[in-house]
Amino acid sequence: MLHLRKIDPPVRRDRAGNKGVALLELCLITPLFLLLLAGLVQIALTMLTAYNLVAAASEGARVASALPILVVDDSRVRDFIMPKIALSNMYSNIQITNTIPISDGAVVNKDGLDCSRSVSVTVTLRVLMPFQAIFGYPFMEMSRSLSMRYLQQPLCP
Amino acid sequence: MSLDSSILKGRNERGAVIALVAMALIVVVILIAFVIEYGYLIIVKHEGQAAVDAAALSAVAGIPAYNLNGNTINSQILAERFNQTWSGPGQTSAVTVDENTVMHSSAAITFNTDVEFIKRQSSGGYTQNPPYTEADGVKVVRTYQVPPLFGKVLGALSTDVTVEAHAFVNGPRCFPVESPIVLLSPSCGNTNLSVSNCTTARCNMDFDVSFSNPIPDDNAAFWAPAGSSGSAQECSDLVSGAALNIYLCVGDQIKLSNSVASSCMHEMKQECLKNRCQEDIQWKVTVPVVSCANLRDASGDYVASAAVTGFARVGITRVDDQSSPTSLRLTTTCGDSVAGAPSGGGFCGFYASPFLE
Protein backbone atom coordinates (compact mmCIF):
# COMPACT_ATOMS: atom_id res chain seq x y z
CA MET A 1 0.00 0.00 0.00
CA LEU A 2 2.79 2.35 0.97
CA HIS A 3 4.52 1.59 -2.25
CA LEU A 4 1.43 2.47 -4.28
CA ARG A 5 0.90 5.75 -2.55
CA LYS A 6 4.42 6.73 -3.59
CA ILE A 7 3.78 6.38 -7.30
CA ASP A 8 0.16 7.50 -7.43
CA PRO A 9 0.69 11.25 -7.99
CA PRO A 10 2.94 10.97 -11.10
CA VAL A 11 0.49 8.53 -12.74
CA ARG A 12 -2.40 10.89 -12.18
CA ARG A 13 -0.33 13.78 -13.51
CA ASP A 14 0.56 11.78 -16.64
CA ARG A 15 -3.04 10.89 -17.34
CA ALA A 16 -4.14 14.46 -16.82
CA GLY A 17 -1.46 15.71 -19.24
CA ASN A 18 -2.58 13.32 -22.02
CA LYS A 19 -6.19 14.36 -21.93
CA GLY A 20 -7.42 15.33 -25.44
CA VAL A 21 -4.24 14.23 -27.17
CA ALA A 22 -5.95 11.32 -28.86
CA LEU A 23 -8.74 13.62 -29.99
CA LEU A 24 -6.20 16.08 -31.33
CA GLU A 25 -4.36 13.32 -33.18
CA LEU A 26 -7.65 12.07 -34.55
CA CYS A 27 -8.48 15.57 -35.78
CA LEU A 28 -5.10 15.82 -37.46
CA ILE A 29 -5.19 12.43 -39.09
CA THR A 30 -8.86 12.35 -40.12
CA PRO A 31 -8.57 14.87 -43.00
CA LEU A 32 -5.59 13.00 -44.34
CA PHE A 33 -7.44 9.71 -44.18
CA LEU A 34 -10.53 11.25 -45.77
CA LEU A 35 -8.33 12.63 -48.53
CA LEU A 36 -6.78 9.21 -49.00
CA LEU A 37 -10.23 7.65 -49.00
CA ALA A 38 -11.54 10.18 -51.54
CA GLY A 39 -8.51 9.50 -53.70
CA LEU A 40 -9.09 5.79 -53.49
CA VAL A 41 -12.76 6.13 -54.34
CA GLN A 42 -11.81 8.35 -57.27
CA ILE A 43 -9.27 5.86 -58.60
CA ALA A 44 -11.79 3.04 -58.23
CA LEU A 45 -14.48 5.09 -59.95
CA THR A 46 -12.13 6.06 -62.77
CA MET A 47 -11.15 2.46 -63.36
CA LEU A 48 -14.70 1.21 -63.13
CA THR A 49 -15.88 3.91 -65.51
CA ALA A 50 -13.04 3.19 -67.94
CA TYR A 51 -14.03 -0.49 -67.89
CA ASN A 52 -17.72 0.32 -68.40
CA LEU A 53 -16.88 2.71 -71.23
CA VAL A 54 -14.84 0.11 -73.09
CA ALA A 55 -17.67 -2.39 -72.65
CA ALA A 56 -20.30 0.09 -73.82
CA ALA A 57 -18.31 1.28 -76.83
CA SER A 58 -17.47 -2.30 -77.77
CA GLU A 59 -21.07 -3.47 -77.45
CA GLY A 60 -22.29 -0.36 -79.27
CA ALA A 61 -19.92 -0.94 -82.17
CA ARG A 62 -21.07 -4.57 -82.43
CA VAL A 63 -24.71 -3.52 -82.52
CA ALA A 64 -24.14 -0.64 -84.94
CA SER A 65 -22.11 -2.84 -87.26
CA ALA A 66 -25.04 -5.27 -87.60
CA LEU A 67 -27.87 -2.79 -88.06
CA PRO A 68 -29.26 -2.34 -91.54
CA ILE A 69 -29.68 1.21 -92.82
CA LEU A 70 -27.66 2.79 -90.04
CA VAL A 71 -28.03 6.54 -89.62
CA VAL A 72 -25.87 9.03 -87.74
CA ASP A 73 -26.43 8.75 -83.97
CA ASP A 74 -28.94 5.99 -84.56
CA SER A 75 -31.48 5.74 -81.75
CA ARG A 76 -31.44 1.93 -82.06
CA VAL A 77 -27.80 1.88 -80.95
CA ARG A 78 -28.49 4.28 -78.09
CA ASP A 79 -31.61 2.42 -76.96
CA PHE A 80 -29.76 -0.88 -76.99
CA ILE A 81 -26.67 0.31 -75.15
CA MET A 82 -28.12 2.70 -72.59
CA PRO A 83 -29.70 0.04 -70.35
CA LYS A 84 -26.55 -2.04 -70.60
CA ILE A 85 -24.21 0.55 -69.13
CA ALA A 86 -23.37 -0.83 -65.72
CA LEU A 87 -24.20 1.46 -62.79
CA SER A 88 -25.47 4.08 -65.21
CA ASN A 89 -27.18 6.02 -62.43
CA MET A 90 -23.69 7.00 -61.24
CA TYR A 91 -23.19 8.91 -64.46
CA SER A 92 -24.71 11.98 -65.98
CA ASN A 93 -24.86 13.42 -69.47
CA ILE A 94 -24.40 10.03 -71.15
CA GLN A 95 -24.05 10.43 -74.90
CA ILE A 96 -23.85 7.59 -77.39
CA THR A 97 -23.00 8.62 -80.91
CA ASN A 98 -22.21 6.68 -84.04
CA THR A 99 -21.10 7.38 -87.56
CA ILE A 100 -22.77 6.06 -90.64
CA PRO A 101 -20.86 3.28 -92.41
CA ILE A 102 -17.86 5.14 -93.78
CA SER A 103 -16.57 4.13 -97.15
CA ASP A 104 -12.85 4.62 -96.87
CA GLY A 105 -11.79 2.71 -99.93
CA ALA A 106 -9.40 0.55 -97.91
CA VAL A 107 -10.42 -2.61 -99.78
CA VAL A 108 -12.06 -2.66 -103.14
CA ASN A 109 -13.40 -6.03 -104.19
CA LYS A 110 -13.03 -7.57 -107.61
CA ASP A 111 -16.10 -5.71 -108.82
CA GLY A 112 -14.46 -2.42 -107.95
CA LEU A 113 -16.75 -1.87 -104.99
CA ASP A 114 -15.74 -0.92 -101.49
CA CYS A 115 -16.35 -3.78 -99.05
CA SER A 116 -14.62 -2.28 -96.05
CA ARG A 117 -17.06 0.28 -94.74
CA SER A 118 -16.78 0.74 -91.02
CA VAL A 119 -18.67 2.38 -88.20
CA SER A 120 -17.44 4.11 -85.07
CA VAL A 121 -19.32 4.35 -81.81
CA THR A 122 -18.36 6.85 -79.14
CA VAL A 123 -19.65 6.81 -75.58
CA THR A 124 -19.16 9.95 -73.50
CA LEU A 125 -20.29 10.52 -69.92
CA ARG A 126 -19.66 12.56 -66.81
CA VAL A 127 -18.91 11.00 -63.47
CA LEU A 128 -18.85 12.60 -60.02
CA MET A 129 -15.34 12.48 -58.57
CA PRO A 130 -15.04 12.93 -54.80
CA PHE A 131 -11.35 13.83 -54.78
CA GLN A 132 -11.71 16.50 -57.44
CA ALA A 133 -14.84 17.76 -55.71
CA ILE A 134 -12.64 18.87 -52.80
CA PHE A 135 -10.89 21.21 -55.18
CA GLY A 136 -14.08 22.45 -56.78
CA TYR A 137 -14.11 20.28 -59.92
CA PRO A 138 -16.66 17.62 -59.06
CA PHE A 139 -17.12 16.10 -62.50
CA MET A 140 -14.80 14.30 -64.85
CA GLU A 141 -15.81 13.71 -68.46
CA MET A 142 -14.68 10.44 -69.94
CA SER A 143 -15.03 9.10 -73.45
CA ARG A 144 -14.29 5.97 -75.42
CA SER A 145 -14.60 5.07 -79.12
CA LEU A 146 -14.43 1.85 -81.03
CA SER A 147 -14.41 1.29 -84.77
CA MET A 148 -15.59 -1.89 -86.41
CA ARG A 149 -16.22 -3.12 -89.92
CA TYR A 150 -19.85 -2.71 -90.94
CA LEU A 151 -21.32 -6.20 -91.31
CA GLN A 152 -24.23 -5.32 -93.57
CA GLN A 153 -22.11 -5.28 -96.67
CA PRO A 154 -20.64 -7.96 -98.86
CA LEU A 155 -17.47 -9.80 -98.04
CA CYS A 156 -14.33 -8.99 -100.03
CA PRO A 157 -13.72 -11.53 -102.78
CA MET B 1 7.07 -7.63 -12.94
CA SER B 2 6.54 -4.80 -10.46
CA LEU B 3 4.15 -1.95 -11.06
CA ASP B 4 7.11 0.38 -11.30
CA SER B 5 8.61 -1.36 -14.24
CA SER B 6 5.22 -1.50 -15.90
CA ILE B 7 4.85 2.25 -15.67
CA LEU B 8 8.37 2.74 -16.93
CA LYS B 9 7.56 0.51 -19.88
CA GLY B 10 4.48 2.59 -20.61
CA ARG B 11 6.62 5.68 -20.82
CA ASN B 12 8.94 3.91 -23.31
CA GLU B 13 6.01 3.13 -25.63
CA ARG B 14 5.49 6.80 -26.42
CA GLY B 15 5.44 7.17 -30.23
CA ALA B 16 4.83 3.49 -30.77
CA VAL B 17 1.43 4.20 -32.31
CA ILE B 18 3.00 6.49 -34.89
CA ALA B 19 5.46 3.78 -35.82
CA LEU B 20 2.63 1.27 -36.07
CA VAL B 21 0.53 3.65 -38.16
CA ALA B 22 3.48 4.35 -40.43
CA MET B 23 4.11 0.64 -40.94
CA ALA B 24 0.44 -0.07 -41.49
CA LEU B 25 0.27 2.80 -43.95
CA ILE B 26 3.14 1.35 -45.95
CA VAL B 27 1.39 -2.01 -46.09
CA VAL B 28 -1.91 -0.34 -47.03
CA VAL B 29 -0.24 1.76 -49.74
CA ILE B 30 1.45 -1.34 -51.18
CA LEU B 31 -1.88 -3.17 -51.19
CA ILE B 32 -3.60 -0.21 -52.87
CA ALA B 33 -0.82 -0.01 -55.46
CA PHE B 34 -1.21 -3.73 -56.14
CA VAL B 35 -4.97 -3.40 -56.58
CA ILE B 36 -4.60 -0.40 -58.91
CA GLU B 37 -1.94 -2.21 -60.90
CA TYR B 38 -4.15 -5.27 -61.25
CA GLY B 39 -7.20 -3.15 -62.11
CA TYR B 40 -5.21 -1.41 -64.82
CA LEU B 41 -4.23 -4.79 -66.30
CA ILE B 42 -7.91 -5.77 -66.41
CA ILE B 43 -8.79 -2.56 -68.25
CA VAL B 44 -5.95 -3.05 -70.74
CA LYS B 45 -7.08 -6.63 -71.34
CA HIS B 46 -10.60 -5.39 -71.93
CA GLU B 47 -9.38 -2.72 -74.37
CA GLY B 48 -7.17 -5.24 -76.15
CA GLN B 49 -10.02 -7.73 -76.42
CA ALA B 50 -12.25 -5.12 -78.06
CA ALA B 51 -9.45 -4.27 -80.51
CA VAL B 52 -8.71 -7.88 -81.54
CA ASP B 53 -12.45 -8.62 -81.83
CA ALA B 54 -12.81 -5.71 -84.26
CA ALA B 55 -9.71 -6.78 -86.18
CA ALA B 56 -10.87 -10.41 -86.42
CA LEU B 57 -14.38 -9.49 -87.56
CA SER B 58 -12.88 -7.22 -90.17
CA ALA B 59 -10.14 -9.57 -91.38
CA VAL B 60 -12.53 -12.47 -91.88
CA ALA B 61 -14.35 -10.45 -94.55
CA GLY B 62 -11.31 -11.01 -96.75
CA ILE B 63 -11.74 -14.80 -96.61
CA PRO B 64 -13.42 -15.12 -100.03
CA ALA B 65 -10.34 -13.63 -101.73
CA TYR B 66 -8.14 -16.04 -99.75
CA ASN B 67 -10.40 -18.98 -100.70
CA LEU B 68 -10.28 -18.11 -104.38
CA ASN B 69 -6.53 -17.87 -104.90
CA GLY B 70 -4.71 -17.64 -101.58
CA ASN B 71 -4.64 -13.87 -101.78
CA THR B 72 -4.21 -12.51 -98.25
CA ILE B 73 -4.03 -8.82 -99.03
CA ASN B 74 -7.70 -8.08 -98.33
CA SER B 75 -7.55 -9.77 -94.94
CA GLN B 76 -4.31 -7.97 -94.17
CA ILE B 77 -5.69 -4.52 -94.93
CA LEU B 78 -8.95 -5.27 -93.14
CA ALA B 79 -7.12 -6.52 -90.02
CA GLU B 80 -4.72 -3.60 -89.85
CA ARG B 81 -6.98 -0.75 -90.88
CA PHE B 82 -8.02 0.17 -87.33
CA ASN B 83 -4.40 0.62 -86.24
CA GLN B 84 -4.14 4.12 -87.51
CA THR B 85 -6.27 6.93 -88.74
CA TRP B 86 -6.72 5.52 -92.18
CA SER B 87 -7.14 7.60 -95.28
CA GLY B 88 -8.37 5.31 -97.98
CA PRO B 89 -6.28 5.06 -101.14
CA GLY B 90 -7.51 7.22 -103.95
CA GLN B 91 -9.71 9.26 -101.65
CA THR B 92 -9.94 12.87 -102.66
CA SER B 93 -11.77 13.86 -99.52
CA ALA B 94 -10.49 13.20 -96.04
CA VAL B 95 -12.45 10.03 -95.34
CA THR B 96 -10.89 8.42 -92.33
CA VAL B 97 -11.49 5.55 -89.98
CA ASP B 98 -10.73 6.19 -86.34
CA GLU B 99 -8.09 3.93 -84.93
CA ASN B 100 -8.77 1.62 -82.03
CA THR B 101 -6.53 2.23 -79.09
CA VAL B 102 -5.06 0.27 -76.24
CA MET B 103 -3.34 2.18 -73.44
CA HIS B 104 -4.00 5.41 -75.35
CA SER B 105 -1.98 4.36 -78.37
CA SER B 106 -2.66 2.35 -81.50
CA ALA B 107 -3.87 -1.23 -81.01
CA ALA B 108 -1.02 -2.13 -83.40
CA ILE B 109 -2.35 -5.41 -84.77
CA THR B 110 -0.06 -6.72 -87.49
CA PHE B 111 -1.32 -9.28 -89.96
CA ASN B 112 1.92 -11.24 -90.41
CA THR B 113 2.54 -11.77 -86.71
CA ASP B 114 -0.90 -11.62 -85.10
CA VAL B 115 -3.34 -13.11 -87.60
CA GLU B 116 -3.71 -16.62 -89.00
CA PHE B 117 -6.37 -18.41 -91.00
CA ILE B 118 -8.30 -21.23 -89.39
CA LYS B 119 -11.02 -23.74 -90.26
CA ARG B 120 -13.89 -24.69 -88.03
CA GLN B 121 -14.33 -28.37 -87.21
CA SER B 122 -17.73 -29.97 -86.97
CA SER B 123 -16.70 -31.52 -83.65
CA GLY B 124 -15.95 -28.08 -82.27
CA GLY B 125 -12.68 -26.20 -82.18
CA TYR B 126 -10.66 -25.37 -85.26
CA THR B 127 -7.60 -26.34 -87.25
CA GLN B 128 -4.85 -23.86 -87.90
CA ASN B 129 -3.45 -23.00 -91.31
CA PRO B 130 -5.79 -25.16 -93.42
CA PRO B 131 -5.49 -25.18 -97.22
CA TYR B 132 -6.53 -21.72 -98.35
CA THR B 133 -9.59 -23.04 -100.15
CA GLU B 134 -10.94 -24.40 -96.87
CA ALA B 135 -10.29 -21.52 -94.49
CA ASP B 136 -13.45 -20.08 -93.03
CA GLY B 137 -12.13 -17.98 -90.18
CA VAL B 138 -9.25 -16.08 -88.68
CA LYS B 139 -7.57 -16.11 -85.31
CA VAL B 140 -6.07 -12.92 -83.95
CA VAL B 141 -3.69 -13.13 -81.00
CA ARG B 142 -1.98 -10.03 -79.69
CA THR B 143 0.23 -9.57 -76.64
CA TYR B 144 0.46 -6.14 -75.08
CA GLN B 145 3.29 -5.22 -72.74
CA VAL B 146 1.79 -3.22 -69.92
CA PRO B 147 4.33 -1.02 -68.15
CA PRO B 148 4.03 -1.01 -64.36
CA LEU B 149 2.32 2.00 -62.78
CA PHE B 150 3.87 1.71 -59.34
CA GLY B 151 6.06 -1.32 -59.77
CA LYS B 152 8.74 0.91 -61.32
CA VAL B 153 9.67 1.91 -57.79
CA LEU B 154 10.54 -1.69 -57.06
CA GLY B 155 12.16 -2.15 -60.46
CA ALA B 156 9.32 -4.34 -61.73
CA LEU B 157 9.26 -5.10 -65.42
CA SER B 158 6.25 -4.83 -67.71
CA THR B 159 3.49 -7.42 -67.62
CA ASP B 160 2.34 -9.27 -70.74
CA VAL B 161 -1.38 -9.28 -71.40
CA THR B 162 -2.48 -11.61 -74.20
CA VAL B 163 -5.85 -11.31 -75.94
CA GLU B 164 -7.28 -13.63 -78.56
CA ALA B 165 -10.29 -13.58 -80.89
CA HIS B 166 -11.69 -16.11 -83.37
CA ALA B 167 -13.99 -14.92 -86.13
CA PHE B 168 -15.71 -17.04 -88.75
CA VAL B 169 -17.87 -16.49 -91.77
CA ASN B 170 -21.43 -17.31 -90.88
CA GLY B 171 -22.85 -20.37 -92.58
CA PRO B 172 -21.48 -22.53 -95.36
CA ARG B 173 -20.12 -20.53 -98.24
CA CYS B 174 -21.18 -22.70 -101.17
CA PHE B 175 -24.60 -24.12 -102.00
CA PRO B 176 -26.34 -25.95 -104.76
CA VAL B 177 -28.94 -23.44 -105.84
CA GLU B 178 -32.34 -24.59 -106.99
CA SER B 179 -34.01 -21.47 -108.17
CA PRO B 180 -33.37 -18.65 -110.62
CA ILE B 181 -34.29 -15.99 -108.12
CA VAL B 182 -31.84 -13.91 -106.15
CA LEU B 183 -32.78 -11.82 -103.13
CA LEU B 184 -31.34 -8.45 -102.40
CA SER B 185 -29.82 -7.86 -98.98
CA PRO B 186 -31.67 -6.55 -95.91
CA SER B 187 -30.70 -2.98 -96.64
CA CYS B 188 -32.83 -3.21 -99.82
CA GLY B 189 -35.92 -3.89 -97.79
CA ASN B 190 -35.64 -7.61 -97.16
CA THR B 191 -35.34 -7.05 -93.44
CA ASN B 192 -36.36 -10.65 -92.78
CA LEU B 193 -32.97 -11.63 -94.13
CA SER B 194 -31.10 -9.78 -91.41
CA VAL B 195 -28.00 -11.24 -89.82
CA SER B 196 -29.90 -12.05 -86.66
CA ASN B 197 -32.41 -14.10 -88.57
CA CYS B 198 -31.27 -17.34 -86.97
CA THR B 199 -33.49 -16.74 -83.98
CA THR B 200 -36.74 -18.61 -83.50
CA ALA B 201 -38.67 -15.37 -83.49
CA ARG B 202 -37.54 -14.63 -87.05
CA CYS B 203 -38.39 -18.04 -88.46
CA ASN B 204 -41.44 -18.68 -90.61
CA MET B 205 -42.01 -15.03 -91.39
CA ASP B 206 -43.82 -14.17 -94.61
CA PHE B 207 -42.55 -11.50 -96.94
CA ASP B 208 -43.20 -10.52 -100.53
CA VAL B 209 -40.62 -9.90 -103.20
CA SER B 210 -41.28 -8.44 -106.62
CA PHE B 211 -39.41 -8.35 -109.89
CA SER B 212 -39.37 -5.10 -111.75
CA ASN B 213 -36.88 -2.94 -113.56
CA PRO B 214 -34.58 -1.36 -112.66
CA ILE B 215 -33.60 -4.03 -110.14
CA PRO B 216 -32.15 -1.78 -107.43
CA ASP B 217 -35.61 -0.29 -106.94
CA ASP B 218 -36.91 -3.72 -105.98
CA ASN B 219 -35.92 -6.49 -103.61
CA ALA B 220 -35.49 -9.52 -105.88
CA ALA B 221 -34.30 -10.44 -109.36
CA PHE B 222 -33.62 -13.36 -111.63
CA TRP B 223 -30.05 -14.47 -111.93
CA ALA B 224 -27.86 -16.37 -114.39
CA PRO B 225 -24.24 -17.51 -114.18
CA ALA B 226 -21.70 -14.90 -115.22
CA GLY B 227 -20.84 -15.25 -118.88
CA SER B 228 -24.13 -16.88 -119.79
CA SER B 229 -26.73 -15.25 -121.97
CA GLY B 230 -29.27 -15.03 -119.18
CA SER B 231 -31.96 -16.28 -121.52
CA ALA B 232 -35.48 -17.37 -120.61
CA GLN B 233 -34.43 -20.95 -121.41
CA GLU B 234 -31.64 -20.87 -118.84
CA CYS B 235 -34.10 -19.54 -116.32
CA SER B 236 -36.57 -22.31 -117.12
CA ASP B 237 -33.81 -24.92 -116.79
CA LEU B 238 -33.04 -23.68 -113.30
CA VAL B 239 -36.70 -23.84 -112.34
CA SER B 240 -37.30 -27.30 -113.73
CA GLY B 241 -34.02 -28.73 -112.47
CA ALA B 242 -32.72 -29.37 -115.98
CA ALA B 243 -29.67 -27.26 -115.11
CA LEU B 244 -27.97 -29.62 -112.70
CA ASN B 245 -25.13 -29.13 -110.25
CA ILE B 246 -25.20 -25.37 -110.24
CA TYR B 247 -23.10 -24.46 -107.23
CA LEU B 248 -22.65 -20.91 -106.11
CA CYS B 249 -20.16 -19.66 -103.53
CA VAL B 250 -19.93 -16.43 -101.63
CA GLY B 251 -18.02 -14.07 -103.86
CA ASP B 252 -19.17 -15.64 -107.15
CA GLN B 253 -20.22 -13.13 -109.75
CA ILE B 254 -23.75 -13.56 -111.14
CA LYS B 255 -25.75 -11.74 -113.78
CA LEU B 256 -28.99 -10.12 -112.73
CA SER B 257 -31.85 -9.50 -115.08
CA ASN B 258 -35.57 -9.11 -114.86
CA SER B 259 -36.12 -9.09 -118.58
CA VAL B 260 -37.07 -12.76 -118.35
CA ALA B 261 -39.50 -12.09 -115.51
CA SER B 262 -42.77 -12.86 -117.31
CA SER B 263 -41.77 -16.07 -119.03
CA CYS B 264 -39.72 -17.40 -116.13
CA MET B 265 -42.35 -16.51 -113.60
CA HIS B 266 -44.80 -18.58 -115.63
CA GLU B 267 -42.41 -21.53 -115.28
CA MET B 268 -42.18 -20.79 -111.57
CA LYS B 269 -45.96 -20.86 -111.32
CA GLN B 270 -46.10 -24.27 -112.99
CA GLU B 271 -43.40 -25.60 -110.68
CA CYS B 272 -45.18 -24.11 -107.71
CA LEU B 273 -48.36 -25.94 -108.71
CA LYS B 274 -46.39 -29.16 -109.08
CA ASN B 275 -45.06 -28.64 -105.55
CA ARG B 276 -48.60 -27.73 -104.47
CA CYS B 277 -47.24 -24.62 -102.81
CA GLN B 278 -49.72 -22.58 -100.85
CA GLU B 279 -49.91 -20.79 -97.51
CA ASP B 280 -49.19 -23.88 -95.41
CA ILE B 281 -47.22 -25.93 -97.93
CA GLN B 282 -43.91 -24.40 -98.85
CA TRP B 283 -41.81 -25.05 -101.92
CA LYS B 284 -38.43 -24.81 -100.26
CA VAL B 285 -35.46 -23.51 -102.21
CA THR B 286 -31.99 -22.16 -101.50
CA VAL B 287 -31.37 -18.86 -103.20
CA PRO B 288 -28.39 -16.53 -103.40
CA VAL B 289 -28.39 -13.10 -101.78
CA VAL B 290 -26.55 -10.06 -103.13
CA SER B 291 -26.06 -6.65 -101.66
CA CYS B 292 -28.07 -3.94 -103.34
CA ALA B 293 -25.21 -1.60 -102.51
CA ASN B 294 -23.35 -3.46 -105.27
CA LEU B 295 -25.99 -2.78 -107.88
CA ARG B 296 -25.07 0.80 -108.54
CA ASP B 297 -21.69 2.04 -109.62
CA ALA B 298 -19.93 5.11 -108.27
CA SER B 299 -21.98 7.39 -110.49
CA GLY B 300 -25.22 5.78 -109.36
CA ASP B 301 -25.88 3.88 -112.57
CA TYR B 302 -27.34 0.39 -112.46
CA VAL B 303 -24.92 -2.48 -112.97
CA ALA B 304 -26.31 -5.83 -114.03
CA SER B 305 -24.00 -8.12 -112.09
CA ALA B 306 -22.98 -8.59 -108.50
CA ALA B 307 -21.06 -10.90 -106.18
CA VAL B 308 -23.00 -13.36 -104.03
CA THR B 309 -22.84 -12.25 -100.41
CA GLY B 310 -24.78 -15.08 -98.84
CA PHE B 311 -27.67 -17.50 -99.13
CA ALA B 312 -31.18 -17.78 -97.87
CA ARG B 313 -33.35 -20.83 -97.41
CA VAL B 314 -36.90 -19.80 -98.15
CA GLY B 315 -40.24 -21.41 -98.75
CA ILE B 316 -42.28 -20.21 -101.72
CA THR B 317 -45.96 -20.09 -100.89
CA ARG B 318 -47.39 -18.02 -103.72
CA VAL B 319 -46.40 -17.08 -107.27
CA ASP B 320 -48.07 -14.14 -108.91
CA ASP B 321 -47.24 -14.18 -112.62
CA GLN B 322 -50.16 -11.99 -113.70
CA SER B 323 -49.60 -8.69 -111.91
CA SER B 324 -47.05 -6.16 -112.91
CA PRO B 325 -44.49 -6.41 -111.49
CA THR B 326 -44.62 -10.14 -110.91
CA SER B 327 -44.07 -11.23 -107.35
CA LEU B 328 -43.51 -14.11 -104.95
CA ARG B 329 -44.58 -14.67 -101.38
CA LEU B 330 -41.76 -16.22 -99.36
CA THR B 331 -41.39 -17.57 -95.86
CA THR B 332 -38.13 -17.60 -93.95
CA THR B 333 -37.01 -21.11 -93.10
CA CYS B 334 -34.83 -22.15 -90.22
CA GLY B 335 -33.28 -25.43 -89.20
CA ASP B 336 -33.45 -27.15 -92.59
CA SER B 337 -30.84 -29.67 -93.59
CA VAL B 338 -29.48 -28.74 -96.98
CA ALA B 339 -27.96 -31.42 -99.20
CA GLY B 340 -24.55 -30.49 -100.43
CA ALA B 341 -23.89 -27.89 -97.80
CA PRO B 342 -20.28 -28.30 -96.60
CA SER B 343 -21.33 -28.42 -92.96
CA GLY B 344 -23.78 -31.18 -93.80
CA GLY B 345 -26.08 -30.20 -91.01
CA GLY B 346 -29.11 -28.10 -90.39
CA PHE B 347 -28.81 -24.45 -91.11
CA CYS B 348 -30.67 -21.26 -91.05
CA GLY B 349 -28.02 -19.73 -93.19
CA PHE B 350 -28.74 -16.29 -94.38
CA TYR B 351 -26.67 -13.36 -95.39
CA ALA B 352 -23.07 -14.50 -94.96
CA SER B 353 -21.70 -12.51 -92.11
CA PRO B 354 -18.65 -12.65 -89.88
CA PHE B 355 -19.19 -13.57 -86.27
CA LEU B 356 -17.03 -14.10 -83.22
CA GLU B 357 -16.72 -17.35 -81.37
pLDDT class of B142 with cuts at 50, 70, 90: very high
pLDDT class of A145 with cuts at 50, 70, 90: very high
Q: What's the total number of domains in chain B?
A: 2
In a domain, B146, yes or no: yes
Is B180 in the same domain as B154?
no
Q: Which of A102, A106, A157 sits opposite B65 (nearest CB)?
A: A157
Segment of A25-29, A70-74, B118-122, B310-314 carrying the highest mean pLDDT: A70-74
In a domain, B91, yes or no: yes
Is B134 in the same domain as B155?
yes
pLDDT value of position B52: 96
A113 close contact with B: CB closer than 8 A: yes
pLDDT value of position B143: 96
| Residue A101 pLDDT exceeds 90 | no
A38 close contact with B: CB closer than 8 A: no
Across the interface, whether the CB atoms of A154 and B290 are under 8 A apart is answered yes
Across the interface, whether the CB atoms of B97 and A120 are under 8 A apart is answered yes
Query: What residues of chain A lie within 8 A of the CB of B63, using their CB?
Result: 155
User: What is the rounded CA–CA span in Å between residue A153 and residue B57?
Assistant: 13
Across the interface, whether the CB atoms of B309 and A103 are under 8 A apart is answered no
The DSSP bridge partners found for residue B97 are B86
Is B148 in the same domain as B183?
no
Q: What is the pLDDT of residues B167-196, one digit of tens each?
A: 987 655 566 777 888 887 655 655 555 433
Is B190 in the same domain as B146?
no
Q: Is A103 helix (H, G, I), strand (E, B) or coil?
A: coil
Does residue B325 have a cis peptide bond before it, meaning omega lies within 30 degrees of 0? yes
pLDDT value of position A15: 55
* Least confident segment among A32-46, A63-77, B175-189: B175-189
Q: Which of A58, A107, A145 sits opposite B98 (nearest CB)?
A: A145
For chain B, positions 14-53, list CB contacts with chain A under 8 A: 21, 32, 36, 39-40, 42-43, 46-47, 49-50, 53
In a domain, B251, yes or no: yes
CB B27 within 8 Å of CB B35: no
pLDDT value of position A49: 93
pLDDT value of position A55: 93
The DSSP bridge partners found for residue B336 are B347
Is B337 in the same domain as B203?
yes
Chain centre distance of CA A11: 55
DSSP label at B98?
Answer: P
Q: Where are the domains of chain A?
A: 2-149
In a domain, B1, yes or no: no
Query: What residues of chain B lie within 8 A of the CB of A152, using their CB?
Result: 185-187, 195
Among B140, B168, B196, give the residue marking a domain's end: B168
**With pLDDT > 70 as the criterion, what percentage of chain A qualifies?**
81
| Residue B95 pLDDT exceeds 70 | no
Here the ipTM equals: 0.82
In a domain, B103, yes or no: yes
Mean pLDDT, range B130-153, rounded to an integer: 88
The DSSP bridge partners found for residue B320 are B327
In a domain, B10, yes or no: no
In a domain, B311, yes or no: yes
Is B164 in the same domain as B195?
no
B110 close contact with A: CB closer than 8 A: no
User: What is the rounded CA–CA span in Å between residue B31 and residue B308?
Assistant: 58
* Least confident segment among A15-19, A29-33, B59-63: A15-19
Mean pLDDT over each residue of chain B, to the nearest integer: 76
Q: Which of B4, B57, B305 sits opposite A148 (nearest CB)?
A: B57
In a domain, B259, yes or no: yes
Mean pLDDT over each residue of chain A, to the nearest integer: 81
* Least confident segment among A60-64, B13-17, B24-28, B265-269: B13-17
Mean pLDDT, range B157-170, rounded to an integer: 89
Is B186 in the same domain as B148?
no
| Residue B68 pLDDT exceeds 60 | yes
Q: Which of B4, B39, B306 sits opposite A47 (nearest CB)?
A: B39
B1 close contact with A: CB closer than 8 A: no
Mean pLDDT, range A31-55, rounded to an integer: 89
Q: Find the domain containing B188 and state its range.
A: 174-356
Is B221 in the same domain as B144?
no
Return the higher-pLDDT residue of B8 and B148.
B148
* Least confident segment among A135-149, B258-272, B296-310, B312-326: B296-310
| Residue A143 pLDDT exceeds 50 | yes
Q: What is the pLDDT of residues B21-44, one digit of tens each?
A: 888 888 988 888 888 999 999 999
CB B174 within 8 Å of CB B250: yes
pLDDT value of position B254: 85
Is B139 in the same domain as B214?
no
User: What is the rounded CA–CA span in Å between residue B30 and residue A55?
Assistant: 29
Is B138 in the same domain as B247?
no
Write the CB contacts of B243 (distance below 8 Å, at least 6 apart in sequence). Answer: B234, B237
Among B137, B168, B199, give the residue marking a domain's end: B168
pLDDT value of position B340: 45
Among B168, B187, B207, give the residue marking a domain's end: B168
B288 close contact with A: CB closer than 8 A: no
Mean pLDDT, range A106-115, rounded to an integer: 65
Give the CB-side neighbour count of residue B319, counting CA atoms within 13 A: 25
